[in-house]
Amino acid sequence: MLKIRAVDPDSPLFGQIRPGYRLIAINGREVVDNLDFQFKSSDERLELVFDDAHGHRLDYSFNELYPGSLGITFEDDKIKRCKCNCVFCFIHQQPKGMRRALYVKDEDFRLSFTHGNFITLSNITEEDLQRIVEQRLSPIYISVHTTDDRLRRCMLRNEKLTPILPHLRFLVENGITVHTQVVLCPDLNNGPALKKTIEDLTPLFPGVSSLAVVPVGLTRYREHLPKLRLHTPEEASEVVEFIEKMQRVNIKKIGSRFVWAADEFYIVAGRQLPSLSSYEEMPQFENGVGMARQFITDFNRRRNTLKKIKSGKRAVLLTGQSAGSFMKGQIEPFLRDKLGLEVVVRPVANDFWGQSVTVSGLLTGQDLVKAIKKNTRKQDTVVLPPNCLNHDDLFLDDLSLDEFARQVNRPVLVGSYDLVDTLLEVYS
């Protein structure tokens, strides 16, 4: 059942049901959450059953009701939690005192469908699987890590974990598209284990539509946690070479590369990024696969637009160490030498999480403040990465954007993923 938070004045039920009432069933079927409500309320004819605050049943019927016009807002669903203790879990690598939401280990197939969150299927039930199929919750995103069941139970530290391949086969045989990932840990699921994983998943294409191989992320807060290490540049290069070899095999077999290495592997290895077309439909863009190449390509396609800028103003672009490596090498020289713009790319060291964390999305306000106050002139416009703030304009350490601007006492702009648009705004 769903508890009502608000009723829109335009709702056909306004004045008849109130906040605090509960929706019990639609067309004779129990309603279990907000996503279930959206699915079951899509019929034109609806029979709704509510309970009021005193447990009295209220019945309403509607014919030819436009989907989505009920005008009811329900309380948020309780998030399904993860039962695993993965050896690489980022939640366990955080200090105390952070924002409460950062400690939530979600393992919710609904969020996988609605937000693209990766899940392990560690708490999936037969009823859940049937619902995914019935309601066509596709695509969903699944962390496989390895198809070796024994190794998978070891990495996820969950001895009750059921085999992953039967679940995947069930989903794809019933028309659900699945995107998968492997968090690659040196000395654990690489080498033969990674080869087996790719070879086990490839035959499930196109149902299993893609596989991303991403490097393990480690912070400095790993006391009492399993010993793990990062890939060396040589190992990262070996990963890239192996995956590109598998891509060539897959192109011949199934007509798709199917598996991709995350951008981070190329950056750590010091290798050139693949062409944009090699990422096909960019199925794992949000997972850091092809994002760097897309960023560079978009800039190169539109960079001549910046020729019209005539200004002596200086902009300082703050970013993570990963993006900083290719931005300083490929973008900053063009802006400075070809266009005469004073644009400085400044990679920011992540003192909060540790130097091994190099992505801009995990930069805290305090580290960015330190970077700005170092060799940045008062009149410089500071451009922040687009992914370092949440929807409430808060950094990971809960510093607000307003407080941030007050502390740095310089013009501040939150950039976009289109660098040309960002620079046009800086120099407007």
Please indicate, yes or no, if residue 83 is contained in any of the structural domains.
no
Let me know whether 272 and 355 are in one domain: no
Is residue 85 assigned to a domain? no
Domain count, the chain: 3
pLDDT band at 1 (very low <50, low <70, confident <90, very high): confident
Please report the sign of the dihedral spanned by the C-alpha atoms of residue 369, residue 375, residue 379, residue 380.
negative
pLDDT band at 67 (very low <50, low <70, confident <90, very high): low
Q: Are residues 274 and 311 in the same domain?
A: no
Domain-embedded: residue 86: no
Residue 328 lies inside a defined structural domain of this protein: yes
**C-alpha closest to that of 388 among 325, 320, 323:** 320
Asked if residue 47 and residue 101 are part of one domain, the reply reads: no
Residue 17 lies in a domain: yes
Q: What angle do CA 109, 115, 117 make, to 5 degrees?
A: 55
Same domain, 47 and 98: no
Q: Give the CATH number of the domain where residue 241 resides.
A: 3.80.30
Residues 307 and 173 grouped into a single domain = no
CATH number of the domain encompassing residue 379? 3.40.50
Q: Any residues with CB less than 8 A from the CB of 346 and at least 6 apart, and which?
A: 316, 317, 318, 319, 324, 371
Let me know whether 69 and 102 are in one domain: no
Spatial separation of the C-alpha atoms in residues 390 and 134, rounded to whole Å: 33
Residues 200 and 166 in one domain: yes
Q: What is the CATH classification number for the domain harbouring 18?
A: 2.30.42.10
Asked if the structure places residue 114 within a domain, the reply is yes
Report the DSSP pairing between strands 259-261 and 208-215: parallel
Question: Residues 65, 105: one domain?
Answer: no
pLDDT tens readout for residues 140-170: 999 999 999 999 999 999 999 999 999 999 9
Query: Which of 74, 99, 132 is the C-terminal boundary of a domain?
Result: 74
- Domain annotation covers residue 275: yes
Per-residue three-class SS string for 293-329 = HHHHHHHHHHHHHHHHCCCCCEEEEEECHHHHHHHHH
With 0-12 CB in 10 A as exposed, 13-18 as middle and 19+ as buried, what is 64? exposed
Grade residue 73 by pLDDT with cuts at 50, 70 and 90. very high
pLDDT at 376 > cutoff 80: no
pLDDT at 219: 94
- pLDDT tens-digit readout, 81-134: 998 999 999 999 988 877 777 888 999 999 999 999 999 999 999 999 999 999
Predicted TM-score of the model (pTM): 0.93
Specify whether 301 is located in the same domain as 316. yes
Q: What is the DSSP letter of 66?
A: P
pLDDT tens readout for residues 185-222: 999 999 999 999 999 999 999 999 999 999 999 999 99
Of 247, 267, 289, which residue constitutes the final position of a domain? 289
226 and 141 within one domain: yes
Q: Do 194 and 115 reside in the same domain of the chain?
A: yes
Rounded mean pLDDT of the chain?
Answer: 94
- Residue the block writes with tokens 């800086």: 426
* pLDDT higher than threshold 90 for residue 43: no
Q: Which of 231, 254, 289 is the last residue of a domain?
A: 289
CA 344 to chain centre: 28
Is 9 a residue whose pLDDT tops 70?
Answer: yes
Please report whether residue 80 resides in a domain: no
Which domain covers residue 262, as residue numbers?
91-289
Distance, CA of 102 to CA of 396 (rounded, Å): 9
- Cβ proximity of 157 and 194 under 8 Å: no
Residue 296: per-residue pLDDT: 95
Do 48 and 151 reside in the same domain of the chain? no
